[in-house]
Structure 1
Amino acid sequence: MPIDIVQQDTIASHIKRQCSPQPSVIVIGAGISGIAAARRLYDASFKVTVLESRDRVGGRIHTDYSFDCPVDMGASWLHGVCNENPMAPLIRGLGLKLYRTSGDDSILYDHDLESYMLFNMDGHQVPPQMVTEVGDTFKRIMEETEKVRDDHPDDMSVHQAISIVLNRHSELRKQGLAHEVLQWYICRMEAWFAADADMLSLKTWDQANVLSGGHGLMVQGYDPVIKALAKDLDIRLNHRVIKISNGCNKAMVTVEDGRNFVADAVLVTVPVGVLQANLIEFIPKLPDWKVAAIKDLGVGNENKIALRFDKVFWPNVEFLGIVAPTSYACGYFLNLHKATGHPILVYMAAGRFACDLEKLSNESTVNFVMLQLKKMFPGASNPIQYLVSRWGSDPNSFGCYTYDLVGKPDDLYDRLRAPLGNLFFGGEAVCMDDHQGSVHGAYSAGIMAADNCHKYILEKQGHMENPPLVSVRHEILETTIPLQISRM
């Protein structure tokens, strides 16, 4: 019986697919966005090579084990402990535990107020009732900034909007210790964005699409997630990319020692700070609209100083805060002992203050932090070990995560994530649904870029039917096991 036309076309398509070379992709950056993209394409039988400038994987996720326990010196929270979080299947499948620091879905607070203890610069505890009352005032002030936004068509900074609110409503002004507590609340808000209030866009500061379920600290660190995604991938460490040349059919990537790598497509997931520093040459040059999008995005900075002690001498609360006359001078410690059982405090600094700390040596930084701690607890012992992050001056990052500058164009993120032929872009800055600055945002951006790259290459090879990408590894993890989250 003769073969009909449809059968002939099907057989021809099958033969063509079998004869087609294996699609190849180079992923630049082994942070979670890069390895999520690489994992996605590898599971789709693509030839994937990951080029990473550091001597480790993870990027701005870095779980340190030198304290004989995991300490995240970069990202450490899952923001949105719910099944809708794209990271949930992976975290569930790995059996990782989360410690709930807040059930509040607001971006004003990512930790519960009742687990704080605040002190003034003289070391006296702030009365809890005052903390609560000033917290209510702070909420009212931030709600009033919405009216300021409605009254002013042009964008302004959050700091300027707060000043307008306080001029309109003198009853919201605070004096003395209450003013210092208010500054501490502003400091906490600034820490969410890793930038000072005078840099934040009033138009968009509260428009983030925060997932439900509150915030969970990764008790075992993010390292198990990174290792699971990176398993079996071809990752080349200490490969600093200096040039990307892309043509119609192939792209070539040059690393610092002069070696070249060629593939069908390139997926760029390096931090925006690195792109802003022009450390990678693009041939042909990036179009002006792409360069402007990169330039118009703010890159925040947040650093951690982790201190390990021989014993616990502080109260059993999650956060210890220091109030001061300005938000710049406020500070806070995360108590890892409450969440993990290890005698560790982590001092956290954001914005300009984080940048200024990087100008000090590690020893001077620790001495400064210990001065703050000894104001609260005069009998505090000295740490037996310490770790200091320097994300702002790190040439592999030049900052932590992105935020919206005042006057940001509305189409900035669309231009950031837009591919250029066989050149695709991932990373936390280009994620959809306003999840910039989060691990799940970076992860989903990598998946999105991989899917777009997959579709592009298959269409170039003539495969018009484009089956959706489904990772076998992720299918296995799609279980009904709930996320393991608890609170002591």
Structure 2
Amino acid sequence: MDPPPPPQPPQFSLIPPSQIPPPQQNSNPNIQPDSIPNWDQNPNLTHYLDLSVPKKRRRGRSQRNSALFRSPLTLNASSNNDLSSYAITSSSSSAAVAPPVSFSSIRNPPPSLTQSSSAYDFSDEIIMINKEPKTEAMIALSAGFPADSLSEEEIETGVIPVIGGIEQDKTPTEPSKPGVIIIGAGLAGLAAARQLMRFGFKVTVLEGRKRAGGRVYTKKMEVGSRVGAVAELGGSVLTGTLGNPLGIVARQLGDVLHKVRDKCPLYSVDGKPVNPDMDMKVESAFNRLLDKASRLRQLMGEVSVDVSLGAALETFRQVYKDAVNDEEMKLFNWHLANLEYANAGLISHLSLAFWDQDDPYDMGGDHCFLPGGNGKLVQALAENVPIFYEKTVHTIRYGSDGVQVIAGSQVFEGDMALCTVPLGVLKKGSIKFIPELPQRKLDGIRRLGFGLLNKLCHSCWWSPVDCFSGR
């Protein structure tokens, strides 16, 4: 069999010089080449500009300052009484409480809110939450969990029934609200099931596999009668512990997270380490070009929507003559591939305007793993949750009179359904919705992308270890 052809470098259409406006052509005098515009300076930019400078996808851990998360001051009351919270409207010196707003409105403000000319920084309030135990815990959920320890409210809104020997489970013994059928027993389905049960809903979870956890699956690598190691065949690393609900669950379980080392050496195809000086040079150039792309986005405004990130980076690489020889270009392509891995898409398909729009919601802190595997989290979340395994759902009928969820020859009826299946299942059309989903949802399913990661796990012959994996 002939060996596969070597991978070809990505091809980009360079940006014509005529489309790169110089600073003096900037139509907004509030945007300067060396400044980052915010909502106060230019509220109209919120539709196509990120809330912060693009985060550089460096090797090792990534950290984000909570002060970069900005949200409008004015929030309207929501009619959703089940999932409601309170928005802080005061400065960091006081704690006035506004009418309830939906959690989703705080986390993802609609366009009517993002057009507000006022900007509000939640970072001071996040610090205040650590000091004021009576502050509504849902504010912490919306702006990111506090960085230090659990408060009473966080424990009560958590998912583990017992912590420190004190019973925290307040799930009603008899459901008092309508029935909800949850499709999928992954982390999303399990967390939703526990929260809805606490709200008094009657919950039934249908899972197609023989196990819970979905894309989180801890494989025990047994050596004789003992477990030599565990391998995460799915999600393995907690990418940031500040604001990460899984970090909260781990602390509730009393588990200690182990930090993933920052060092990430690169090796060439012959197995030799990459020259550290050249490695640092190319990495610095890559990060500098990302900064250049960010400045270009500011200057181009809405026009940057139609320009790809790949075209911008390649244009600047040629202009500034970075990564000119073969060895440097191989390293530069590694950074491009790492960027594509982080965004689950080709950079030639990523919009210069929107490629990093989710960065304000990234979680800061160290990247960590849980000794013994993330299966511990799944086991705790699934405790006392009614789950029907090997029930592969293929049809969901819904209407004003309730829902029918069909798995094989069985029909499950309820008042409403919550679908938490993976995006790939929805893309494949494995589940038929009657009536068909709204066009906006179908368009979202079609446009969203996801990445593929192959893992190789070797059986260990040495003494038991916490975790063993590679990719």
The question of a shared fold, defined as TM-score above 0.5 by the shorter chain, is answered with yes
1:239 maps onto 2:381 in alignment: no
Structure 1 counterpart of 2:307, one-letter code:
M
Question: Could you tell me how far apart the structure 1 residues matched to 2:418 and 2:308 are?
Answer: 34
Structure 2 counterpart of 1:35, one-letter code:
L
- C-alpha deviations, 1:348-407, integer Å up to 9, x for none? 2xxxxxxxxxxxxxxxxxxxxxxxxxxxxxxxxxxxxxxxxxxxxxxxxxxxxxxxxxxx
Question: Could you tell me how far apart the structure 2 residues matched to 1:291 and 1:341 are?
Answer: 42
Structure 1 counterpart of 2:186, one-letter code:
G
CA pair 294-140 structure 1, distance change in 2 beyond 3 A: same
Structure 2 counterpart of 1:258, from 409, 412, 418 = 409
Aligned length: 290
Contact 1:149–1:155 (8 Å) recurs in 2? no
Structure 1 counterpart of 2:325, one-letter code:
Q
User: TM-score, normalising length from structure 1?
Assistant: 0.55
* Aligned equivalent of 1:72: 232
Structure 2 counterpart of 1:174, from 296, 318, 324 = 324
Per chain length, whose mean CA-contact separation is higher, i.e. which structure has more relative contact order (CA < 8 Å, sep 6+)? 1
- C-alpha deviations, 1:274-314, integer Å up to 9, x for none? 111111111111121221121121122222112235469xx
Contact 1:72–1:221 (8 Å) recurs in 2? yes
* Aligned equivalent of 1:399: none
- C-alpha deviations, 1:233-289, integer Å up to 9, x for none? 11111111111111213111011x221000111001111211111111111111212
The unaligned stretches of length 5 or more in structure 2 are 1-172
Structure 1 counterpart of 2:264, from 108, 113, 116 = 116
Contact 1:51–1:240 (8 Å) recurs in 2? yes
Give the SS at the match of 2:401: coil
Give the SS at the match of 1:66: strand
Between the aligned residues of both structures, percent identity stands at 32
Structure 1 counterpart of 2:191, from 27, 36, 45 = 36
- How large is the RMSD of aligned CA atoms in angstroms? 2.6
User: TM-score, normalising length from structure 2?
Assistant: 0.57
Contact 1:28–1:270 (8 Å) recurs in 2? yes
Give the SS at the match of 2:185: coil
Contact 1:27–1:51 (8 Å) recurs in 2? yes
Structure 2 counterpart of 1:222, from 355, 362, 374 = 374
The unaligned stretches of length 5 or more in structure 1 are 1-17, 103-111, 313-336, 349-488
Structure 2 counterpart of 1:91, from 208, 231, 250 = 250
CA shift, 1:21, in A, is 6.4
Q: How does 1:43-442 map onto structure 2 within 5 Å?
A: 43-67=198-222, 68=227, 69-82=229-242, 84-101=243-260, 112=262, 115-150=263-298, 151=300, 152-170=303-321, 172-207=322-357, 208-209=359-360, 210-255=362-407, 257-310=408-461, 340=465, 344-346=468-470, 348=471
Contact 1:308–1:345 (8 Å) recurs in 2? no
Where do 4+ consecutive residues of structure 1 move more than 4 Å? 18-22
CA pair 138-35 structure 1, distance change in 2 beyond 3 A: same
CA shift, 1:116, in A, is 2.5
Give the SS at the match of 1:229: helix
CA shift, 1:130, in A, is 2.0
CA pair 278-341 structure 1, distance change in 2 beyond 3 A: closer
Give the SS at the match of 2:245: coil
CA pair 155-55 structure 1, distance change in 2 beyond 3 A: farther
Structure with more helix by fraction: 1
Question: Could you tell me how far apart the structure 1 residues matched to 2:175 and 2:284 are?
Answer: 64
* Aligned equivalent of 1:417: none
CA pair 50-136 structure 1, distance change in 2 beyond 3 A: same
Question: Could you tell me how far apart the structure 1 residues matched to 2:328 and 2:376 are?
Answer: 43
- C-alpha deviations, 1:87-123, integer Å up to 9, x for none? 3331101122322226xxxxxxxxx2xx233221122
Question: Could you tell me how far apart the structure 2 residues matched to 1:131 and 1:296 are?
Answer: 35
Structure 2 counterpart of 1:46, one-letter code:
F
